[in-house]
Amino acid sequence: MFRIWAKEFKDNRMLKDMVVENDSEESRTKKIFAAVDDICYAFDLSKPIWLDKNIAEFKRLDKTRFYADNFVDSIDFDFLEIHVIEE
């Protein structure tokens, strides 16, 4: 079971959260991108741009934060955090 927890924060408070599960036999990378797609659809967001900082942070900690500079559209929260909670 592969699970990612997504949390949307504003002013140090969590506004929304959801967990995406994936039992498929796809690669870890495909599962992560599929989960981000599901999260963005559920939260009605454009897909974030993965900057080098995000990639390095995700490889090291299994979590990363997407700020306003990661999104093409404007956002009404401070950041979106994704965290792998189970592999």
Beta bridge partners of 7: 17, 81
| Sheet of 63-66, strands arranged across | 13-22, 2-10, 79-86, 63-66
Phi, psi (rounded to 5 degrees) for 58: -70, -40
CA gap 2, 59 in Å, rounded = 16
Q: Write down the domain spans for the chain.
A: 2-86
Beta bridge partners of 16: 8
pTM of the model: 0.90
Tell me which residue has tokens 């974030």.
Answer: 48
Q: What is the pLDDT of residues 4-60, one digit of tens each?
A: 999 999 999 999 999 999 999 999 999 999 999 999 999 999 999 999 999 999 999
| Residue 84: both structure tokens together | 């792998």
